[in-house]
Amino acid sequence: MVRSALIAALLCSACPAQAEFRFDQPEDEQAFVEANLLGIFYHELGHALIDILDLPIFGQEEDAADVLSVVLIDALFEEETAVGLAVDTAFGFLGEEDGVDDPVFWGVHGPDEQRYFNLVCLFYGANPDQREELAIDMGLPEERAWTCPQEYDQAIDSWGSVLDEIATDSGGRSIRFIKEDDGGEAWQFTSDVLKAEVEALNRDFNLPSRLKVRVDYCGEANAFYDPQRTEIVMCAEFTDALARMAEDTSK
């Protein structure tokens, strides 16, 4: 399941509202956007698998989807790329936190800072011998770090069997990227990233029913799984928001 990609680590923070994604942005900024698009997509894929495979969820579904995102980052990429992807995705949570006055404790998602540490913990727990320095650099407290290998084992006990069930050596065509009219640079970049990822996932997995993936303008920075249409929608506004995070940090 190991694939390579060019993903760079980039710290993100609060961002100016006027900036939008541009193809002439520096490569490190585009890499940050790509990394977070993949992390978000894997999260929505978790929702899709829960629905399509009728999986039992013990706890919050959003937490389960976050866990799958980390499991896929660790499983699908070579070490250097996986580290860059995990770091960018983790800091993406902190970027969202910087743009919020107060944590939203009543929401279905956990507070972004907590999601940051959960991601760091699980990613460290997947390979603690090689990732100890990374965990320290990312501020993972020692009292949490010692439980992370066990937390990752629990994640593999749940999601690992699911991925084994849909894994294939011959490839599949169950995930379909829906190509629509060009909607601008953010739309095009998101489409390019997701089309390539869908092709890669189809080489590794075969679902029992068709899952559609589409890029759209939604009126807000969002991404979601629609169970009525069995479709993951990635909003181009999310790409613009990620570009604002990256651009502000580079100033």
* Position 159 pLDDT exceeds 90: yes
pLDDT band at 103 (very low <50, low <70, confident <90, very high): low
Percent of the chain with pLDDT over 90: 71
The tally of CA atoms less than 13 A away on the side-chain side of residue 63 is 14
Q: Name the residue ranges covered by the structural domains of the chain.
A: 27-250
Return all residues near 199 (Cβ < 8 A) that are at least 6 apart: 177
177 vs 29: CA distance, rounded Å:
25
pLDDT, tens only, 173-205: 999 999 877 778 999 999 999 999 999 999 999
Q: What is the mean pLDDT of the chain?
A: 86
* Position 10 pLDDT exceeds 50: no
pLDDT band at 4 (very low <50, low <70, confident <90, very high): very low
Tokens of 33: 């956007």
Say if CB 166 and CB 142 are below 8 A apart.
no
User: 10-19, 49-58, 87-96, 238-247: lowest mean pLDDT where?
Assistant: 10-19
80 vs 138: CA distance, rounded Å:
16
pLDDT band at 150 (very low <50, low <70, confident <90, very high): very high
Alpha-helical regions (H) of 161-230: 161-166, 185-204
Beta bridge partners of 224: 233
pLDDT, tens only, 51-62: 999 999 887 899
Say if CB 250 and CB 12 are below 8 A apart.
no
- Amino acid, single-letter form, for residue 71: V
pLDDT for 71 equals 97
* Position 97 pLDDT exceeds 60: no
Element (H, E) at 75: helix 61-76
Say if CB 177 and CB 194 are below 8 A apart.
yes
Return all residues near 173 (Cβ < 8 A) that are at least 6 apart: 202, 206
pLDDT for 251 equals 53
Element (H, E) at 130: helix 128-137
pLDDT, tens only, 212-244: 999 999 999 999 999 999 999 999 999 999 998
pLDDT for 228 equals 97
pLDDT for 26 equals 84
Q: What is the DSSP string of 215-242?
A: EE--SSS-EEEETTTTEEEEEHHHHHHH
Beta bridge partners of 231: 212, 226
